[in-house]
Amino acid sequence: MANAAAIGLSLRDLYLFNKGNLFHSYRTFGAHPIRLGDETGVRFTVWAPNAKRVRIVGSFNDWNGYQHEMELIGETGVWSLFVPSIGPGTVYKYEIQTPDGALLLKSDPYAFQSELRPSTASVVAEVFHFNWNDGDWHQRKLEDSPYHEAMLTYEVHLGSWRNRGKELFWTYDEMAGALVDYVAEMGYTHIELLPITEHPLDQSWGYQATGYYAPTSRYGTPEQLMHLVDRCHQRGIGVILDWVPGHFCKDDHGLRLFDGTPIFEGKNWKLAEKPLWGTLAFDFSCTEVQSFLISNAIYWMDVFHIDGLRVDAVASMIDLHFDKPPELYTYNAFGGTENTDAIRFLKRLNETVFQYFPDALMIAEDSSSWPAVTSPTYMGGLGFNFKWNMGWMNDMLRYMALDPNDRMRHHNLITFSLVYAFSENFVLPLSHDEVVHGKRSLLNKMSGTYEQKFAQLRLFYGYWMTHPGKKLLFMGGEWGQFDEWKDAEALDWQLLDYQAHGSMHHYVKTLNHIYSAQPSLWERDCDPGGFEWIDVHNAAQSVIVFMRRGHATDEFMIVVCNFSYHHYSDYRIGVPESGEYRIALHSEAATFGGVLTDIPEVLYSKPTPWHGRPCSISLELPPLSIQLLVVAKGSLDRNDRFTT
């Protein structure tokens, strides 16, 4: 048995790990360059409770671990060894002898860096001493509440935002220049990265991982990723990581049967199997797995300064029958289909993250109807602070695909979301999931002719931006990418040379900046008082009118949407007060690809009651259009008015 103290390990930390309470376990496990006495080297530590023997093999010993056999520390199931005279850059694996005598070669579950696929070994890396320059960003986060701030997220797959050809990826460093500058110029407040944890198959987009602590080597080193995050923060952009705690891939070098037995996936194979994805679920009842996963969430925020996690596939975690055939059905102790272990894990995860990072973003990608996902755990909730609004997304994409002549019979698709809009703290996602696998691009989902598709997309984006909830758009949507997302190719940047797509790009950029400049569009996203219907029942004309309010009494915006093919030359809407109103944005302005070159500077209210309001305005409604109106005394100055 090893002397833990002699190699710089704490028995208390290992006890906490075994109990599921070591939330910085990455400082104990994995490969750590250290100094012991007069020697420098690397301390390797791994959990393999059922192994007969564990050795370290790698480039430093010609992959023969005879002289580098690890020592078991007490009854912890943890093995460790200090190897002198090696350091960062050392390539290694664990050679594990299973209970039945077989030998396995396994990557380190806590590896901070991995070889570039198809190679699968781990790489010793120093990740704890990066020179950060984002202090101002973190101070600002402490002073702001995410519920009352703008959140306009650009979702990015780094391998296909730009590249030089098949498998010729840009590096994290290159992205720290071009991508960050582009996102800042476009007016986005956050970047969300598709999973960048190490994964063997490009086509999985990172959702089937083998290295939870290793940023994928496809794009460079851990230090280069830190540079990307640091540059984002210096430009005022938050970084969200798509995180996948629900399941892992079955590749032999990964977590599956790690020591010859199912320690990460658990013994119940019916519970572990994810047949739809060909993966294995984590055993959320296992305390060591809890330490591993919760530490991983903390790791990305602590070591890489990630601002938040979008937690993937929550519905698949909490439902024992999710996408499973009957022969794999299991039930909890009460006879139900809720995964009570996963539910307890998610609550504990969120409690722990917010204990260490109170300003973190924990966003649930949850397609279920599970209640109180964004309520605190002490109130019975899961403890996230935001949730993707999948219902809104599905209803609106279905509505926009309809022929406008049929929309009067489906008016509820655009109004129903307001029945539950404040039941959770929502993000309105237009994500990668909606533009792959035959679903068509957002532009190509719109009905009508080529020109009408663009008009409809402008209308849809305007409604999306003004509907309560934070926002997320997948890359390429900002100029109306016509083809589906192709993960092995770069986005179709050449489309910006075409007038229709260039105009759409200009429209989205303008819309983004108006959003950021107007507190009424985000200050009260989670407050029913931030939204008022003005005209909700006009199904016959497919017109809706509503108002967004900020904290200040004179801070509001009126939104007028015409989802029909019809032109209404004298459409009257009620307004809350008399005065001059300006059109802050008109989707049919010629500069955005529309048909209007002469848009009035000012609209004057009249003391004619309408829609239950004391005053009203008459305005022209072109077909398939949206207009945003602000009181002339509002916060937009003349330079912020983008209509012609």
Helix (H, G, I), strand (E, B) or coil at 584: strand
Tokens of 449: 């002719």
Whether the Cβ atoms of residue 149 and residue 522 lie closer than 8 Å to each other: yes
Whether the Cβ atoms of residue 290 and residue 254 lie closer than 8 Å to each other: no
- Dihedrals φ, ψ of 266, to 5°? 85, 165
365 noted as active-site residue: yes
> How far is it, in rounded angstroms, from Cα 535 to Cα 611?
7
Four-point Cα dihedral 398, 371, 271, 19, nearest 10: 140
Distances (CA, A) of 368 to 314, 399, 414, 429: 8, 21, 20, 15
Q: What is the CA radius of gyration of the chain?
A: 27
Q: Which is the catalytic residue, given 192, 259, 312, 341?
A: 312
The beta-strand segments (E) located in 62-167 are: 71-73, 78-84, 91-97, 103-106, 122-123, 152-156
Please choose, from the candidates 505, 519, 493, the residue with its C-alpha nearest in 3D space to the C-alpha of residue 593. 505
Tokens of 50: 């059922």
Tokens of 507: 């429209």
> How far is it, in rounded angstroms, from Cα 463 to Cα 399?
12
> How far is it, in rounded angstroms, from Cα 435 to Cα 298?
31
Distances (CA, A) of 87 to 16, 59, 391: 28, 12, 51
Q: Which is the catalytic residue, given 365, 395, 424, 555?
A: 365
- Between β-strands 568-575 and 556-562, what pairing exists: parallel, antiparallel or unpaired? unpaired
Exposure b/e, 339-350, CB count within 10 A at least 16 = b: bebbbebbbbbb
Whether the Cβ atoms of residue 239 and residue 226 lie closer than 8 Å to each other: no
* Chain CA centroid to CA 82, Å: 38
> How far is it, in rounded angstroms, from Cα 500 to Cα 481?
11
Please choose, from the candidates 279, 311, 275, the residue with its C-alpha nearest in 3D space to the C-alpha of residue 293. 311
Residues 6+ apart with CB under 8 A from 186: 154, 478, 508, 509, 512
Active-site positions read: 312, 365
